[in-house]
Chain A
Amino acid sequence: MEGLLSLAKMKVQQAEVFSVSSRETTVHFEANQLKQVHSKESAMKVLRVMKDGRIGLAAGNGTGDSAALLDMAIETSQFGIPVDFQFPGLGSYPEVDTFDSQVEKIATEHMIELGRELVSRLTGYSPGLLCDAEIIKSMHTIGIVNSQGCHMSYNKSIFAMGVEGMLVKDTDMLFVGEDESSGCLSAGVDILVERVIRQLDLAARNAAVSTKVLPVVFTPHAIASAFMVPLSSAFNGKLVYEGASALKGKLGKQVFDRKLSLWDDATVEYGVGSRPCDDEGVPSQRISLIDKGVVSHFLYDLHTAALAGTRSTGSGGRGGGGFPKPGPTSLIIGEGDVSLGSMVAGMKEGLVVEHLIGGGQGDALSGDFGGNVLLGYKVENGEMVGRVKDTMVAGNVYRDLREIVLGDEARWVGSSLRTPWIYSPRISVSAKGV
């Protein structure tokens, strides 16, 4: 890395080398059986140069020679975007827990056992259930060096478990599923098993809703697929700068319900997205995006910040390679004070949406969300009475998050969101047939 940097420094004004090397082991179960053990080793080295005021980039997996990589970067810089910013020097980085040596140490045999236990407990509960499951451990080393003096490197571990179950009866298919990932080793499969069993119980009977406006409870999974695509785009500093975000000009304004607070926190202990600095070497911090319903910050990387006349929020992410883009690490929605039980108990007729598909397909920039309810439960007189089918929900985050109720318990979902349940009183529901 240092070698490539010194080579580059001779030919360009500023240079940066971002590198990531990863080792990953996956045990994969298909249809209740252990099917495959995978191992992946991969590396990526990305060179960014600034030459004559323009930026160029070349990437490789370290198998080519450094001079060729530098030539490619210089070639692209002729057409690159003119930039006016400096790579950061060595900063003062927060202490962030990103590596758990237990993850590295866990044996493949043990991962296989965890998978077997997960599958056998679920199929034991519900014979006929077909499970695909994965247990994954990965270790990463991320490095950033640049011509301005930054030389930062840290290790990261991720441990993830996930299961998807399918139950087929004639042309009726039921999908259930849960996953959990973290920077540290998980205690076991109990939580996953409990959650899936709860889904199976609630879905044991069918119920029908009709096309109308109904109160809806979005579970953390549904929140991830319905709200997070429009929200992440809206807070992206680049889209704000370009005027494509609907939140442009709304800084300091009350846009959402006063109970809603959302922040991005790259320093959260063992978060999957946690890191001491972003992928450009800017120190990490907790950034408030929505503070009691008021739009409080947007996310910036170095380049976008320079354009917008502000500072990077340490939100430059590279997804393993390529150009940095402003984006969230761990999004967290603050808890409210209403239990899930009383949310449901207060509904005469309504819907609890567990899994949504196609949630990100609406026009995200306009705040629209919508999708098919893959798993969801009808509520009648305060009780979840059964699973709905052929049902869609549609809405808009700017309209439907103005008046909400937040659950009193938050959980992680996927790898990048922690949220409580959210109740929205008027959501448009379309159903087939009825």
Chain B
Amino acid sequence: MREQITDALKGHESDYIEIHLEQSQSTGMVYQGNRLEEIGRTSVRGGNVRALVRGSWGFASFDGFAGLREKVALAVMEARLAGGGDAWFSPAEPVMDKVSWSPRKYASSVMLASKKQLLDNYNDIILSSPSIQSSAINYRDVQRTTIFANSEGSYIEQEKPDLSLRITAIASGAGKVRQAGLSLGSRGDFTEIEGLDDQVRNVARRAEALLYAPQLKGGEYTVILDPVLAGVFTHEAFGHLSESDFVYQNKELRQLMALGRRFGDKGLNIVDDATIPELRGSYKYDDEGTPGARTYLIHEGILVGRLHSRETASRMSEAPTGNARAINYLFPPIVRMTNTFIEPGGSSFADMLSEIKEGVYVKDWYGGMTSLEMFTFSSGEAYMIRNGKVEELLSSLVLTGNVFTTLANIDAIGDDLEMNQGGGCGKGGQSPLPVSNGSPHIRIQHCLVGGK
């Protein structure tokens, strides 16, 4: 294979060419209520070629590994057609490497019967709770190996397994239907989703409790976010703004995101880190062959870095950070996050709480979206805070705001960092990409909450 790939790269009139090949096997299971509705396996092999000619890109994806040379020629022809752009690539040394990854218990080697037994058990726990109407479980494991080669002489093989699990409990009563959920993920390690009986029981109880939860009156509140939701906030509200492909061609946004600008209090530190082995967003090399890295985005409240591909790095005369990623061979790599989190500060949860007369404690993740300046995210669980105490459960909330003012309004950062590996990130039609995010508890003043 290697010889075919290196040969296919030779002799084209082009400034840069890369080839991605990929082979993957996945198993998916979907439960709805007491039925295992879907159980299926998928096996796929394919690749793509990306070519840069005089500042413009051509891209061709295909099934199978045959006829590589013609695929390269097609991508080069397309790039020529696009012609005369100003894309460029920051220089890089060629890399040759083979990266394997061994989870404690490889999900793809676990017997189908054992996977089913574990999920059956979780499903039974939910369905045996009193007001539960239904449940939903989505499980997927992927075993993926990729080959990356480029015209600069790089050749990298990587093993990139992934696992994701989402468990939802649906309760009905009092004329209402409410749901609560739990999202988990790992780099293909099955043990990460074992032994969750208590957490699953708790999801069912939460869904039941939501049936009787009142809705909050919309408006501005002092809000404490738990580590899960604060992680989503970090990813959605700030993380996406750090992706340089949003920034590099936009003069105004570049000024806004100028390095050195103050975004928050001195205690605020935000990091994107692809090098923490057990986290779901980690890898050794990104999809342009750049080593994954630890990048400070905000250090002591000041913007100090951003996420780059080789192209955006070259445009902004900064160094690549190894954040060019594609969900699979059907897509070209774009700038993405890996594991993004707020570093722990010095406040305890109790201290944060004690200073609030009236506020909201929002926990857990239900969804989130951003359009650069504005973000919205919704909680899985929310409680009223009165006189320093967590009081009654509230119906699911949507929080929204402007990232610049909201970051500046963080006035306390907890000492209890936790990472959340569930879900996945979507951007430019590429979803879900394995990422993780995290934070300690944080407190935000004047946060807009949608409600009645």
Footprint of B on A, CB under 8 Å?
Answer: 27, 30-31, 33-43, 56-64, 68-69, 72-73, 75-76, 78-81, 108-109, 112, 130, 166, 168-173, 175, 211, 238, 242-244, 246, 321-323, 357-358, 360-363, 365-366, 368, 370-372, 374, 390, 392-394, 428, 430-433
Closest to A72 in B: B41
In the complex, which residues of chain B have a beta carbon less than 8 angstroms from the beta carbon of A59? Answer: 40-43
The one of B63, B116, B371, B374 in contact with A43, judged by C-beta atoms closer than 8 angstroms, is: B63
Q: How far is the CA of A189 from the CA of B387 in the complex (A)?
A: 58
Name the segment of B91-99, B250-258, B416-424, B433-441 touching the other chain.
Answer: B250-258
- A371–B330 contact, CB under 8 A? no
The one of A57, A108, A394 in contact with B218, judged by C-beta atoms closer than 8 angstroms, is: A394
Q: How far is the CA of A37 from the CA of B178 in the complex (A)?
A: 45
Closest to A31 in B: B249
- B56–A36 contact, CB under 8 A? yes
Could you show 20 A-B contacts with beta carbons less than 8 Å apart?
Answer: A34-B83, A37-B56, A37-B58, A41-B60, A41-B61, A75-B112, A108-B81, A112-B82, A166-B372, A169-B252, A244-B177, A357-B374, A360-B367, A361-B376, A362-B378, A362-B398, A370-B450, A390-B401, A394-B218, A394-B451
- A370–B398 contact, CB under 8 A? yes
- B376–A372 contact, CB under 8 A? yes
Footprint of A on B, CB under 8 Å?
Answer: 28, 30, 32-33, 35-46, 56-65, 74, 78-79, 81-83, 85-87, 112-113, 116, 133-134, 170, 172, 176-179, 218-220, 249-250, 252-253, 256, 330, 332, 366-378, 396, 398, 400-402, 404, 448-452
In the complex, which residues of chain B have a beta carbon less than 8 angstroms from the beta carbon of A76? Answer: 39-41, 112
In the complex, which residues of chain B have a beta carbon less than 8 angstroms from the beta carbon of A58? Answer: 40-43
Q: How far is the CA of A42 from the CA of B451 in the complex (A)?
A: 44
In the complex, which residues of chain A have a beta carbon less than 8 angstroms from the beta carbon of B113? Answer: 79
Q: How far is the CA of A431 from the CA of B28 in the complex (A)?
A: 42
Given the known inter-chain contacts A35-B82, A61-B44, A430-B448, please indicate yes or no for A392 contacting B177, CB distance below 8 A: no
CB distance from A396 to the nearest CB of B (A): 10
Q: How far is the CA of A426 from the CA of B398 in the complex (A)?
A: 19
CB distance from A40 to the nearest CB of B (A): 5
- B81–A109 contact, CB under 8 A? yes
CB distance from B374 to the nearest CB of A (A): 5
Closest to B367 in A: A361
- A171–B133 contact, CB under 8 A? no
Q: How far is the CA of A206 from the CA of B42 in the complex (A)?
A: 51
In the complex, which residues of chain B have a beta carbon less than 8 angstroms from the beta carbon of A357? Answer: 369-371, 374, 376
In the complex, which residues of chain A have a beta carbon less than 8 angstroms from the beta carbon of B400? Answer: 358, 372, 390, 392
Q: How far is the CA of A130 from the CA of B30 in the complex (A)?
A: 42
The one of A43, A64, A366, A430 in contact with B219, judged by C-beta atoms closer than 8 angstroms, is: A430
Q: What are the 6 closest A-B residue pairs judged by CB atoms, nearest first?
A: A358-B376, A31-B249, A168-B252, A430-B218, A57-B40, A37-B78
Q: How far is the CA of A139 from the CA of B170 in the complex (A)?
A: 40
Closest to A307 in B: B35
- A56–B39 contact, CB under 8 A? yes
In the complex, which residues of chain A have a beta carbon less than 8 angstroms from the beta carbon of B58? Answer: 36-38
CB distance from A406 to the nearest CB of B (A): 26
In the complex, which residues of chain B have a beta carbon less than 8 angstroms from the beta carbon of A170? Answer: 252, 256
